[in-house]
Structure 1
Amino acid sequence: MTPAPPDTSISTLGPCLIPSPVHRIGGVEAPFKEDAVDRILYHSHVLEDGRDSSTPSYEEAGPREKIYFDPPKTTVGIVTCGGLCPGLNDIIRGIVNRCHKQYGVARVYGFRYGYEGLVQRFGHTPLLLKPSSVEQAHHFGGTLLGSSRGKQDIGEMVDTLEDMKVDILFVIGGDGTLRGAAEIVKEIERRGLKKAVVGIPKTIDNDIRYLDKSFGFETAFDAAVQAVNCAYIEATGAVNGVGLVKLMGRDSGFIACYAALAGSNVDFVLVPEVPFELEGEGGLLEVLRQKLMKRGSAVIVVAEGAGQHLMQTGDDTDASGNKRYGDIGLFLKDRINAFFKQRKTEVNLKYIDPSYIVRSVPANAQDNVYCSRLAQNAVHAAMAGKTNMLVGRWHNSYIHLPLELVIHGRRKVDPTQELWHSVLECTGQPAVMK
């Protein structure tokens, strides 16, 4: 399990002296938060085994009575990085609306094509965003700003922030993007500038540590369930039918697990956290053969990062510095077909890879709400001068989380905990396939 964070303190640019314009919302006094008073405990329950019951706590997100930035003099920037994810446009829309409508911020710029848009020599002209320009954005998948992968020169990016007099930068992305945000903060501090950097965690893999979930995850596995159901129909409609579905999940198998639990018609779930073998009496191929003998069909859901030890993948990396993984879906398809052909047994395998469909759909209603609240709380934090942090949800409360806590590891499926045990119960697959 993820260990308790050693330090949850949030950096701030300085004293907040300006009365917030968010005093009354629709005639109701705003629920202002105090850093030292309104905190969310890390543990959801009191320890009862004799250990010290003291526990770390997070700042609770929300509007502050006094803010750091003077809204009419404040310029905001937004950037979206990495792969696409449901809800990106919802976040952009939420930030723009909160900045303009609630705080009266002077200018909001959208930097195009990820961190490339912060490097002027690429020539990506920033968009001036207003509520009217994002009014319908949440109805569409993807990001209206565009995205990209890969590292950029930190100094050049901060030069752009200085040249455009950007006071607040909202960074929307996954672990690699957030590592970049932390480097931007270091360069800003080195130059002695007063600029806030606030992250909003984006990854459909749901692998950001110390958070309940990242936005877009519910929409992603909802879309993945449709693919799994199609695989089940294909498998049961043929002699010795096998439906094989590859889902996203480089290092964390949450989408595969939840899609299998939601569909309740999956026989095998293969995730990066649980090694498996193909050959031998207890290997996947033999266990699959036995399943087909008993039932006549089977559905396999595999996360993209599973079974990498079975393939010769080399040491190549992508633009973000991540190791290039072998295609486990096509690999399994070929090995399963070859296994049954060698035994002169008919098998009808249908392979489905919905990866780009899953990540490109518009956010569903649950993620609409989640993205809206993340955006609201990100703006509240930034206007109060908070920096080097991200907003997220923990125990159903919105919190401020230091960037340093999330950039040195990923949240993973724990094979000893309840989620994986639920998967084993639902599928009936062996706990070990070796």
Structure 2
Amino acid sequence: MAPNLNFTQSQFDVASLGQCNVESPLQLSTVPGDGRCDFTFDDARILYEPRFRTGEAICPLSLEHAGPRQKIFFDPAKVKAAIVTCGGLSPGINNVVRTVVLELIHNYGVPQVVGIRFGYEGLNPAVGRPPMSLTPEVVENIHHHGGTILGTSRGPQEANTTVDFLVSQGINILFCIGGDGTQRGSHAIAVEVARRGLKIAVVGIPKTIDNDIEFCYTTFGFATAVAEAEVAIDRAHVEAKSVDNGVGLVKLMGREAGFITATAVLASGEANFCLVPELPLELHGPHGFLAKLKRRLQARSHAVVVVAEGAGQHLLKEIAGADASGNRRLADIGYFLKEQIESYLKAEGVPTSVKYFDPSYLIRSLPAEAVDSLLCERFARAAVHAAMSGRTDLLIGLWHNHLIHVPLTTSTGLKKRLDPESELWTSVLSLTGQEKW
């Protein structure tokens, strides 16, 4: 999707707790080319839109480059940091927790890091459990396991209550790992901190398996999810080809964005239909999905259909309300499609066998694979550097493969969507041929 050029430069200004006067303990360099890794200059920027046509003016919008600063705000010896994980599971959460702990303790010399238990509930002593101590020994092997060692939950707590808790515990850095709902909560905390004039840094680390966070080309867990989803599609293909007129139907994650579904379809190469939330799903009529599926079966005797959980919701009875994170509740498009396929083909006199796969929770609970493990390292270290430099009320983003600081006021409430004019979706259509049936 083309970037939104309606932003102003002031929307990319990052909040700071104050002047950085403490020398960083990191043994880095300020001289490029001396064989040592360099500090990141405070005025280093990443262009918001690097693409341009010859003769066009270059868009001057830019974002702050993330990285270690030579001068930091906090005296590491006086820091007590906390980490909270919120929302649904995603591969790599434990990796992020581990790297944050090790970077703070081993490299910055921070004496104490604690983990907030079971999401934002743990910031409210009336409902939550006490924090747990996070030491290098505690986090030593957690990156080999899925889930989160800290536990998770959905929904916010009152900002007054959470800030009271941070103050009572002597916590002056809070890392919030989660998606858009989590980051709305972290922004509310940062606003209350600023209102009171406190010196507490609040830094968000984006987590969403759907890969739908704006200002973040790829979120951790996405590559692992795609790899496992590919396996499910391949198995569905085996089932479909093993019987006459077999249909393998796979439902994948993607409430409002079809990135996992589209990317997994490309990775597998075995799907014939890819249905995503960004594009309307027409079931009936000569150009509807069901008629196309029938023609596919008549021509090839099998088909594989992959659908994102948020696709086709207009066809289903709306479920009232939202979950604790503020997400609207979705009806089950997978079972609905299975019933529609079976009843339609039966009425058309086409015998079929539909095998339905829903690997969503199996995928979410996996440990991170190598690509995601590396991405977790990058996000976590950048978050630590940002916090130690006194930057606050921000999200770590990934823009043109560079880590950046994005103010939460700008990043929250925005969702990235699959662009029907993108190379990704064009490739899906070329592979599946679903528009030709």
TM-score, normalisation: structure 2: 0.96
User: Which amino acid in 2 is paired with 1:34?
Assistant: F
The answer to whether the Cα contact below 8 Å between 1:22 and 1:30 also exists between their aligned partners in 2 is no
Runs of 4+, deviation exceeding 6 Å: none
Matched, 1:17 2:18: no
Residue 219 (structure 1) shift: 0.6
Q: Name whichever of 399-408 and 284-293 sits farther off.
A: 399-408
Q: Which residue of 2 aligns with 1:91?
A: 96
Q: Name whichever of 238-247 and 417-426 sits farther off.
A: 417-426
User: Which amino acid in 2 is paired with 1:59?
Assistant: E
Q: Which residue of 2 aligns with 1:343?
A: 348
Q: Which residue of 2 aligns with 1:289?
A: 294
What is the distance in 1 between the residues matched to 2:26 and 2:261? Answer: 42
Among residues 191, 205, 229, which one is paired with 2:210 in the alignment? 205
What is the distance in 2 between the residues matched to 1:192 and 1:340? Answer: 66
Q: Which residue of 2 aligns with 1:33?
A: 40
- Cα shift readout 1:364-398 (whole Å, capped 9, x = no counterpart): 00111110111111101100000011112211111
Q: Which residue of 2 aligns with 1:102?
A: 107
What is the distance in 2 between the residues matched to 1:109 and 1:17? Answer: 26
What is the distance in 2 between the residues matched to 1:311 and 1:65? Answer: 56
Q: Which residue of 2 aligns with 1:3?
A: 4
User: Which amino acid in 2 is paired with 1:31?
Assistant: D
Over 3 Å counting, the alpha-carbon distance change for 1:246 and 1:49 in structure 2 is: farther
Q: Which residue of 2 aligns with 1:48?
A: 54
User: Which amino acid in 1 is paired with 2:115?
Assistant: G
Equivalent positions of 1:109-128 (< 5 A) are 109-128=114-133
Among residues 377, 380, 401, which one is paired with 2:382 in the alignment? 377
Among residues 353, 357, 372, which one is paired with 2:358 in the alignment? 353
What is the distance in 1 between the residues matched to 2:245 and 2:193? Answer: 61
Local SS of the residue matching 2:304:
strand
Q: Name whichever of 227-236 and 422-431 sits farther off.
A: 422-431
Local SS of the residue matching 1:144:
coil
The answer to whether the Cα contact below 8 Å between 2:103 and 2:381 also exists between their aligned partners in 1 is yes
Local SS of the residue matching 1:77:
strand
Count, aligned residues: 429
What is the distance in 2 between the residues matched to 1:28 and 1:181? Answer: 38
The answer to whether the Cα contact below 8 Å between 1:204 and 1:359 also exists between their aligned partners in 2 is yes
What is the distance in 1 between the residues matched to 2:364 and 2:235? Answer: 18
Residue 200 (structure 1) shift: 0.4
The answer to whether the Cα contact below 8 Å between 2:395 and 2:411 also exists between their aligned partners in 1 is no
Query: Runs of 5+ in structure 1 lacking a partner?
Result: none
The answer to whether the Cα contact below 8 Å between 2:28 and 2:38 also exists between their aligned partners in 1 is no
Q: Percent identity?
A: 48
What is the distance in 1 between the residues matched to 2:383 and 2:365? Answer: 24
What is the distance in 1 between the residues matched to 2:158 and 2:107? Answer: 34
- Cα shift readout 1:169-212 (whole Å, capped 9, x = no counterpart): 00000011011111111111111111100000000100011221
Local SS of the residue matching 2:137:
helix
Residue 405 (structure 1) shift: 2.0
User: Which amino acid in 1 is paired with 2:3?
Assistant: T
Residue 401 (structure 1) shift: 1.4
- Cα shift readout 1:283-304 (whole Å, capped 9, x = no counterpart): 1111000000000000000000
- Cα shift readout 1:83-128 (whole Å, capped 9, x = no counterpart): 0000000000000000000011121010010000101011411111
Q: Which residue of 2 aligns with 1:171?
A: 176
Among residues 232, 256, 259, which one is paired with 2:237 in the alignment? 232
What is the distance in 2 between the residues matched to 1:347 and 1:336? Answer: 9
What is the distance in 1 between the residues matched to 2:311 and 2:28? Answer: 51
The answer to whether the Cα contact below 8 Å between 2:50 and 2:58 also exists between their aligned partners in 1 is no
What is the distance in 1 between the residues matched to 2:365 and 2:113? Answer: 25
Q: Name whichever of 52-61 and 255-264 sits farther off.
A: 52-61
The answer to whether the Cα contact below 8 Å between 1:140 and 1:361 also exists between their aligned partners in 2 is yes
What is the distance in 2 between the residues matched to 1:276 and 1:355? Answer: 21
Q: Which residue of 2 aligns with 1:304?
A: 309
Matched, 1:62 2:67: yes
What is the distance in 1 between the residues matched to 2:425 and 2:80? Answer: 46
Residue 403 (structure 1) shift: 1.3
Matched, 1:132 2:137: yes
Over 3 Å counting, the alpha-carbon distance change for 1:259 and 1:65 in structure 2 is: same
What is the distance in 1 between the residues matched to 2:276 and 2:413? Answer: 21
Among residues 148, 163, 167, which one is paired with 1:162 in the alignment? 167
Residue 408 (structure 1) shift: 2.1
Q: Which residue of 2 aligns with 1:418?
A: 423
The answer to whether the Cα contact below 8 Å between 2:17 and 2:200 also exists between their aligned partners in 1 is yes
User: Which amino acid in 2 is paired with 1:353?
Assistant: D
The answer to whether the Cα contact below 8 Å between 1:2 and 1:210 also exists between their aligned partners in 2 is no
Residue 30 (structure 1) shift: 4.3
User: Which amino acid in 2 is paired with 1:273?
Assistant: E
Among residues 191, 194, 198, which one is paired with 1:193 in the alignment? 198
TM-score, normalisation: structure 1: 0.96
